[in-house]
Structure formats: C-alpha cells, structure tokens
Amino acid sequence: MKKQSQWKSSTGFILASAGSAIGLGAMWKFPYMAGIYGGGAFLLMFLLFTIIVGLPLLIMEFAVGKMGQTYTTKIYEKLTQKKWLNIIGWNGNLAVFILFGFYSVIGGWIIIYILKVLGQLIGLSSGNLSSIEFEAIITNPWLTIMGQGIFILLTMVIVMMGVEKGLEKASKIMMPLLFIFLIVIVVRSLSLEGAQSGLRYILQPRIEDLSVKGTLFALGQSFFTLSLGTTGMITYASYASKEMTIKTSALSIVIMNIVVSVLAGLAIFPATEAFGFKPADGPGLLFKVLPQVFDQMAAGSLFYFIFLILFLFAALTSSISLLELNVSNFTKNNNEHRARVALIASVLVFIISVPATLSFGSLNDVRIFGLTIFDAMDFLVSNILMPLGALGTTLVVGQLLDKDALKESFGRDRFKLFSPWYYLVKLVLPLVIILVFIMQLI
Ligand code: PFF
C-alpha cells in the first residue's frame, strides 16, 4: 500500500523537529553572527525575535501541518482550495534546497576535523589540536568537496531509510550528551585567564552596538535556528498524529534552541578573548577557537573527537529535515519513490554546494552584491526566502483559514492563549516581516 510516513509517537515528532531546529544554526552560526553584529546586543535582539516572532510562527507551522496532513507543495491548496498558494510550499522547497547547499559546506568541515583529530589520536599525525590549520583546510578544494560529499551522502542514506527508522531514538542519547559537553566547554572556557571580557561581550547588551543590519540578521538567525518559513516544520507536523500538542512542542524547541545558542556563545567568546581571536572572525570562529579550549583539557583530543561526533550528529538531524522536505514534496509522500528522489535531490544539492565551498578558496573573489557565494546563498535563504515563506503562511492562516478549525488544531487552551496568538499571527507578524523587508531594501 502507498502510505504516508507517520511518527509512531508524539515523542518521535518532538525529537525530530527539535533535531531539525538544533544544529549548526545555534552552535556554529549564532556565535559567528553575534561576533560580527555586536555580541550582547545581538543576543538581546535574537532573544526578543525568537520569543515574540519565532515562537508564534513555529506554533503556526505546527498548526498548519497538523490541519493539512499532507506534503507542503499541496497543503496550501488542500486547506484553502486555492492552487496558486502552493507557491508558498515551492518557495520553502527552494529555500531548503539552497540551504542544504551551503549547510553541507560546514557539515563537511566537521567531517574533515573528525578525520584530522582521529589521525592524531591513532598516531598518523603529530601535534596538538591547535596545530590543525583552519585556513589550509577551507581553501583546499578537494578536501572540502570530499567532506561535504560525505556529509550529503550520510544525509541521503539516512533519508532513504525513511522517517520511522530515522535517528530519533539515537537523539535521545546524543542530544543530552552534546548538552553536557557544551556545559563542560563553557566551564573550561570561563576559567581561562582573560575570559571575563569575552563573557561581558556576549552578555552585556551595548545599545550603541546595535545596527539596523544586526537587527535584520538577528531576525534571520531566529528563522534559521527554528527552521521557520521553509515549511520544514509543517512537513514534520504533517507526519504527526492529530493528538500531538503543538504549543508545548513549540515551546520546548524554542527553549532548547535558546539554551544551546547561549551556551555556544558562552563557550566561544570567553575563549575568543582569552586566546586573542577577533569575535568578528566570521564562519570559522568556532573551528578556530574550540581546538584551543580542548588543548587546555586533559585528554582534550579524545574529548574534542567525541564532541565533533555529537556536533556532526546535530548537524545531520537538521540536514535530514532539509532533504526530507524535498523527498516528501517530490514523492508526494509516496514512499515507493523515496530512494530515487533522495538520490537525485542529493546529487543536485552536491552540485550547487561546490561553488559555496570554493568561495572560501579559489572563488573568494566572486562577489554577489558584495557577498561571497556562500554568504549570498545564506542571505538569500535566511533573510529573504524564509521570511517570505513565513509571511505567506501568516497571510493564509490569518486571512483564509477558518478560525474554529485553527482553534481545534491549537489544542486545549487552559491559559486562553489562542486569541492573542491568533491576532499576533493575523495582524502583527505580517507587518513585522514586511517592515523588515522594507528596511532591508533601504
Ligand atoms: N534549524 C537548522 C539549524 O539551526 O541548524 C537549520 C534548518 C533546518 C533550517 C531545516 C531550515 C530547515 F528547514
């Protein structure tokens, strides 16, 4: 029988959507963005956006998935009877396709580091962790293309196996472990000499550091970490049973994401200052700073190796959701063609990921509106396609969907939160997103 994939339990749904949300966004992208756009001021804006904009939007996406119960290039038509609105689903599909293209570059870096550290552990190469040269890695075309190829391959194999057999079970162990590791790194980082100024940098909002650009990127960061506007979360909610509780699921994902982002900031910035790096160092920040921290620990190489495996796992549970969205749309949720579609989509992603990788090396001079290919892909997704997708969904939910049906999807409402949420989504959030677009143009 042709059958749509379904989670066996609501825990499966929460683990998978938390897995999609928590990944490179919180651990790699948040610190590097905060380092460029004002530290504590960026953190403050990120927190405000995540709570006021991100949380209601996540609840919205879950509600739409739960109501529609189908793939996202069909769900808008199913809910509104207007076929052209499926364009919101296609926008999301395009967004995750490009996103996977540049996400895999960083996934590839993690894999290369894993191999390098393993080489040191088994004695194939000498030196400590800090001797692994970041610049030499990211400018090496064959090495980085191999790394991202492995990352895409791993994602593909897991997706081919189907959601039921996915990684949810493993994430029950891996995610708490990653969390413990992060805390250990924070403790070590904070106890370094000179750590205080880094701590102040990330925790103390200095209003003068707040720029319009930083504010826009903080909103983009909220969208990115919560996987919003790509309809990825709608897809996962459409696999879930009607009984799942969308508010608590969304709230727990938002809280976990904030905690991991803040921990990543606390792990990176004290050490950044202590070792004399620049906070605004860009995408390589985490990769340059963490080896230094682990070098200060007993059995640091072994712990760094384990940390990288956990980090890779977190990245994979996100990349799986990126590929899963394509597979779900192009197979129309018919599991029969799963493997073939996953293969074709992965090959195409690999092709577009190559220029993104090379933009750290031989293609570094190529600029699109002043941005490298990698940064331009990220900007297009995080600051344009994701907000656009979320805007489209707020308009559908606020203007076209039946309020009573939405209320039912919202679930039991002990604290009378439905109305404030509904009017926020209907009236306020579309305006916020439009305003942000106008500011971006200016
Ligand atoms: N939220 C993921 C992260 O922070 O790493 C990235 C992501 C995954 C974005 C899935 C969008 C998506 F559909």
197 CA distance to ligand 1 middle (Å): 31
Residues 76/82, Cβ–Cβ less than 8 Å: yes
In a domain, 3, yes or no: no
Which atom of ligand 1 lies nearest, measured to the CA of 257?
4
Q: How many domains does the chain have?
A: 1
pLDDT, tens digit, 9 for 90 and up, residues 390-407: 999 999 999 999 999 999
Residues paired with residue 371 on neighbouring β-strands, in sequence order: 368
- Map residue 27 onto helix, strand or coil: helix
Which atom of ligand 1 lies nearest, measured to the CA of 228?
11
Average pLDDT of span 151-165: 82
State the pTM of this model: 0.95
Q: Determine what percent of the chain is predicted with pLDDT higher than 90.
A: 81
Nearest by Cα to 95 from 72, 74, 121, 63: 72
- Map residue 213 onto helix, strand or coil: helix
Structure tokens of 414?
A: 């002990």
pLDDT, tens digit, 9 for 90 and up, residues 106-155: 999 999 999 999 999 999 988 899 999 999 999 999 999 999 999 999 99
Q: Quick one: pLDDT band at residue 336, thresholds 50, 70, 90?
A: confident
Which atom of ligand 1 lies nearest, measured to the CA of 232?
13
In a domain, 306, yes or no: yes
In a domain, 4, yes or no: no
Nearest by Cα to 89 from 64, 66, 56: 64
In a domain, 364, yes or no: yes
C-alpha triplet 36, 349, 65: angle, nearest 5°: 85
Is 1 a residue whose pLDDT tops 50? no
Structure tokens of 3?
A: 């059958």
Mutational pocket test of ligand 1: of 28, 29, 225, the residue with most ligand atoms within 8 Å of the beta carbon? 225
**What is the rounded CA–CA span in Å between residue 141 and residue 408?**
52
- Number of neighbouring beta carbons within 10 Å of residue 435: 10
In a domain, 118, yes or no: yes
Residues lining ligand 1, Cβ inside 6 A: 20-21, 23-26, 96, 99, 224-225, 227, 230, 232, 318, 321-322
In a domain, 1, yes or no: no
In a domain, 2, yes or no: no
Q: Look up the CATH number of the domain holding residue 133.
A: 1.10.4160.10
| Contact residues for 138 (Cβ-Cβ < 8 A; gap 6+) | 109, 144, 284, 360, 361
**What is the rounded CA–CA span in Å between residue 323 and residue 151?**
12
Is 17 a residue whose pLDDT tops 70? yes
Dihedral, CA of residue 166, residue 222, residue 381 and residue 168, to nearest 10: 0
| Contact residues for 404 (Cβ-Cβ < 8 A; gap 6+) | none
**What is the rounded CA–CA span in Å between residue 371 and residue 356?**
11
442 CA distance to ligand 1 middle (Å): 27
In a domain, 251, yes or no: yes
What's the mean pLDDT when you consider all of the chain? 93
Identify the domain containing residue 367 by its residue range: 10-441
